[in-house]
Structure 1
Amino acid sequence: MVSLSAQRPGKHRATRPRRGHPRSIRELLEFFRLPARAFYRQRLRTDFNEEDPAEEDDEPFTLDSLETYHLLEDLLRAAEKNGPDRVAERARAQQRGGRYPLAGMAARTAAALLDDITPVLTVWQEIRMEWAAAPQRQAITHAHGRILLEDWLPTLHQNSAGDLAFVQLRASRLLNKESQKPEGDKLAALWLQQLLANAVGLRCDGIVVGRDVLVRAAPPPPGAMAALDDLLDLWQEGLCEPLPVTLKTALVSLQGKNPAPIYDGNDHLPGEVRKNLNLFRDYPDFAALSSARTGLQRRGFAEYAAALYRPFADWLETLEWQAHP
C-alpha cells in the first residue's frame, strides 16, 4: 500500500517576486498566520482547501460554535455601525432571515445571544465614552526589498489627551482556556496594525473587546521598524516557496512546550494540518515540518519560528487584560 505522503507531488517553488504589485494588510496577516497557505494563494493563485457549503434546503435545529461566532460577529458589527441600542433589532432581523433554529428554539437562541453579548456591549460603551473615532482613515505605503505594501489602516480612535488607539470588537473569546492568557493568533492583526502605524509615525495603543475579556496593548517598542522590515524580508522569501512554520505551532515552541500536537492534532484537538490542505501538501505532519530546510539560508522550523514570531511573542507578554464584569 502506498502512503499518502508518498503520493504527494514535489514542493512548488517560484521565482523571486518583482516589486510592482501592491500587497495589502490582509495578505500580510495571511502570511503571518500561515506562510504556506499564503504562498499558494498569493503567488500561485490557488487554494487546496475546498469549502463544502450546506444545502440551501437544510434547516438548522441547533447552532454550532462557528455559527454562533458568525451571528455574534454580525451583532457586534451592527453595534459598531448603529450603536448598542440597535442590537436587539438586528437579532430580530437574523431570526426573520432564517439564521436561527426552527420553532421555539429561535426565541431561546436570540435571548441566549443577547445575554452573551450584553457584557461585551457594556464594556464597549465605556470605551466609546473615552475614545472617539477619527473622521478619516490613515493610508499606509511602505516599500522594503521587493515588497510594496499599500493599504488603509483600520479606523483610529483618539482620547481627550490626544492619544491614538486601535479599538476593536471581537466575537471570539480571547483567553486560552489552559494558560488563561490571550491567544496569540487572535491578536496577530492588532500587532501588525501597530507595526504599520509606527511605520508612518503614529504610536497607537491597542484595545480589543473580546467575548470574555478586555485586552490592552501599549504601542510597540522603538525597534518596531526593524521588526516590520524583517517580517517583510521573510514574506518576500515566503513568496518563493512555502515556509515550514505556522503562527500557532511556533508560539507553542517559543514557550518551550511540545508543538507537535498543535500541528498534528490528536483525539481532542484538530491540528493545523488537518484543517488546511495547503499545509498537508508539503508538510503532512510535524516531523516533516520540523525537518524541512528552505530558502537561501536553508533554515528550518526553529529558525523561522524565532525570526518570524519572537518579537510578536515578546509583545504578547506585555499585554494587560481584564475579564468582563
Structure 2
Amino acid sequence: GVADIRRAIAALADEAGRADFGDAVSLAVVRSALQGALGEGGSGGRFLAGRVTFCAMLPMRSVPFRVVCLIGLNDGSYPRSRRAPGFDLMSENTRAGDRSRRDDDRYLFLEAIVSARRVLYLSYVGQSNRDNAPLPPSVLVSELLEYVERGFALDDDGPLRERLVTRHPLHAFSPRYFRGGADGPRLFSYSEEYCEASRRRRSGGGPEPFFRRPLADPPDEWRTVDLARFVRFFQHPTKYLVRERLRIHLEEREEVLESREPFALDGLAAYNLRQEMLDVRLAGGSMDDAREIARAGGRLPQGRPGDVCFAGEAARVEAVAKRLDAWRAAPRLDPIPADRDLGPIRLTGWLTDVSPQGFLEYRPTTAKPKDWIALWLRHLLLNDLRPAGVTPESRWLGEEDEILIGPVENPLPYLLTLADLFWTGLSRPLHLFPEAGFAYAERVRSGRDAERALSAARTVWVGNEFSKRTPEGGDPYHRLVFGAGDPLDADFERLAREVVLPMLEHRR
C-alpha cells in the first residue's frame, strides 16, 4: 500500500545519504530502484497474520502448513529466467557458487513441497484460452509428476497421472462443474449465475434478452423534443434508446497512430474532406482556399500524394456544387420556427435551407436510408407548417442521386404516428431498422409479395459474401439488444409499412 511506497522512498533516500550522493538522477533510475524494493518487500509484510497467508516464494519461509498452494506454474514462467545486462561479465564466465535464479527457484519449489503436510496444490494454465489446445506446465511440475509415477502406483493399476491432474473446462459455466458424476468432487462451483447458464445451455435455451421488460417512461421534460433529436432517433432507434436512456456508449476503440505515412484517404476521411470543400465552395471560397484549410488541418497526405488526392476529390465536389448552384440561386428564407403538439410529445425546432422552391438538403455522397428518413421527417414538418410562398416539396442532392418528395395533403396523421413511435421507442426497442426497412418497403412499393420483400430485408440485415459492407445486424447496438435472434418479424413489417413506405409513395 501507500505505507510500503513511503518506506521504499525513505530507504532509497537513506541509502543515498549514507553513500554521500547528492547528484541528480533520472526518473527511470528512481523508478527502477523503487520497483526493485517494492518487488522484494511488498509481500513480506504481515506474514502469518491470518488463517490464510498469501506470499511470494522466498528463502527461509519453509514453515510447515496443512495446505500449500502454488499458482502460476506455467511453462516459461517458473523457474524464472534472468537476462543478464550486457556489462555483466560474470554471466559470461560462471563459476561454482555464483547465484542462479533458476536454481534458487528449484530450491524454493522443493522447500514448498516438503512444507505441505496434508495437501499440495499446484496450478498452471493447461489449455489455450483460444482453441483449448493443451499447454505444458512448468518443467518442475513435469519432473515431479514423472518422479511420482516412477515411485508409486495405484491399487487398481490405473493411470496415476490422471488421478493426480484435474483438467478444468475452458468455460466456468461448463456442465462438468454442476453434474458431478465421473469428475467426483474435483470439479465444482458455487456460482448460481454459472449454474443457471449451464442449465440453459443443456436445455437448449438461448441467452436472456437484453430488454426483458420495457423501461419506465422518461420524465416529462423528455416530452419536448428538438427536431434534430427527433430525426436522429428515427435514423437509428436502437442506438438512440441505448445511448440516451441507458447511457451506454459502444464507441470504437481509440485508433492507434499510424506507423507509416498514409498516401491515400479512407472512405470516411475522403467524405469529411469533400464536405469541408463543399462548404468552402458554397460560402464563396475557392478550391485553393479549401486546399490550404485541409493542409492546415492535417487532412491530406504530405507532398505530391496529397495534391493527387485533393485533385480527385475537388472534381467530385465541383460537380456537386454546380448542381447546387441552380437551386441555391433562389433567395433562402429565414429559418422557420416549428412548435407542434403531437400527442405524447411536443416537437420544436427550426426549418432551415428553405426557399420558395421548397426544402433542400445535400451531401457530397450517395443517398442512404438515413438521408431519406431525415428528408422525409423535415418534409412532413414543412407540409404541416405550409409557410406562405413556399412550394411544399423537398429535395435531396448528392453526387449522382436526386430525391424529390412531393406535397403531402394531410401530414398530421404521419407526424402523430411517428410521435407515438418515438415515445414508445424511449422505453423499449423498436423493430425499426432503416436499411432493412428501406429494402422491404422498396420491394413492396414495386409490387413484390411480402415474402420476397422480407427476404430482401433479411439479406440487408445479415449480409452476404458479395458485399464488403457491414450488415445492419452487425451494428454493435443491434448486436447488444437483439443478439443472434431474428428481429425481422411481424412488428418489423408493420413499422416498415408505417414509416418507410409512405416516404417512397410520395417520391416523385
- Range class of TM-score, shorter chain: 0.7 to 0.9
CA distance in 2, matches of 1:27, 1:262: 26
Partner of 1:191: 376
CA distance in 2, matches of 1:87, 1:238: 44
Specify which of 213, 224, 232 is matched with residue 30 of structure 1.
232
Partner of 2:210: 10
TM-score by length of 2: 0.52
1:130-279 pair list within 5 angstroms: 131-134=330-333, 136-158=334-356, 164-174=357-367, 183-202=368-387, 204-219=392-407, 221-254=408-441, 255=443, 256=448, 257=453, 258=455, 259-267=457-465, 268=467, 269-274=469-474, 276-279=475-478
Q: Secondary structure at the match of 2:303?
A: coil
Specify which of 95, 99, 104 is matched with residue 295 of structure 2.
95
Partner of 1:180: none
Q: CA deviation at 1:213?
A: 3.5
CA distance in 1, matches of 2:322, 2:393: 21
Q: CA deviation at 1:19?
A: 3.6
> Is the Cα–Cα contact under 8 Å of residues 31 and 235 in structure 1 kept in the other structure?
yes
> Is the Cα–Cα contact under 8 Å of residues 234 and 308 in structure 1 kept in the other structure?
no
Deviations 1:273-304 (A, max 9, x none): 21x2221122234x52124xxxxxxx622222
| Letter in structure 1 aligned against 2:424 | E
> Is the Cα–Cα contact under 8 Å of residues 19 and 147 in structure 1 kept in the other structure?
no
Q: Secondary structure at the match of 2:487?
A: helix
CA distance in 1, matches of 2:499, 2:320: 32
> Is the Cα–Cα contact under 8 Å of residues 458 and 488 in structure 2 kept in the other structure?
no
Q: 1:212 and 1:50, CA in 2 relative to 1: closer, same or farther beyond 3 A? A: same
| Letter in structure 1 aligned against 2:440 | S
> Is the Cα–Cα contact under 8 Å of residues 250 and 309 in structure 1 kept in the other structure?
yes
Specify which of 99, 111, 119 is matched with residue 311 of structure 2.
111
> Is the Cα–Cα contact under 8 Å of residues 88 and 114 in structure 1 kept in the other structure?
no
Partner of 2:21: none
| Letter in structure 1 aligned against 2:435 | K
CA distance in 2, matches of 1:101, 1:253: 41
Deviations 1:55-110 (A, max 9, x none): 45664321111111111011112233x22x42331122202322112332011111
> Is the Cα–Cα contact under 8 Å of residues 360 and 394 in structure 2 kept in the other structure?
yes
RMSD, aligned CA: 2.5
Specify which of 38, 50, 53 is matched with residue 251 of structure 2.
50
> Is the Cα–Cα contact under 8 Å of residues 335 and 353 in structure 2 kept in the other structure?
yes
Q: CA deviation at 1:271?
A: 0.5
Q: Secondary structure at the match of 1:187?
A: helix
Alignment coverage as a number of residue pairs: 288
Q: CA deviation at 1:144?
A: 2.0
% identity of equivalent residues: 20
CA distance in 1, matches of 2:262, 2:254: 14
Partner of 2:264: 62
Q: 1:17 and 1:252, CA in 2 relative to 1: closer, same or farther beyond 3 A? A: same
Partner of 2:47: none
Partner of 1:20: 221
> Is the Cα–Cα contact under 8 Å of residues 19 and 148 in structure 1 kept in the other structure?
no
Partner of 2:101: none
CA distance in 2, matches of 1:249, 1:215: 19
| Letter in structure 2 aligned against 1:208 | W
Q: CA deviation at 1:310?
A: 2.2
Q: Secondary structure at the match of 1:149?
A: strand
Q: 1:184 and 1:63, CA in 2 relative to 1: closer, same or farther beyond 3 A? A: same
Q: Secondary structure at the match of 2:464?
A: coil
1:276-287 pair list within 5 angstroms: 276-285=475-484, 287=485
Q: CA deviation at 1:6?
A: 4.7
TM-score by length of 1: 0.80
1:120 and 2:288 correspond: no
| Letter in structure 2 aligned against 1:197 | L
CA distance in 2, matches of 1:214, 1:16: 39
CA distance in 2, matches of 1:166, 1:149: 18
Q: CA deviation at 1:309?
A: 2.1
Deviations 1:41-65 (A, max 9, x none): 2333333x21233345664321111
Q: CA deviation at 1:242?
A: 0.6
> Is the Cα–Cα contact under 8 Å of residues 228 and 349 in structure 2 kept in the other structure?
no
CA distance in 2, matches of 1:132, 1:52: 45
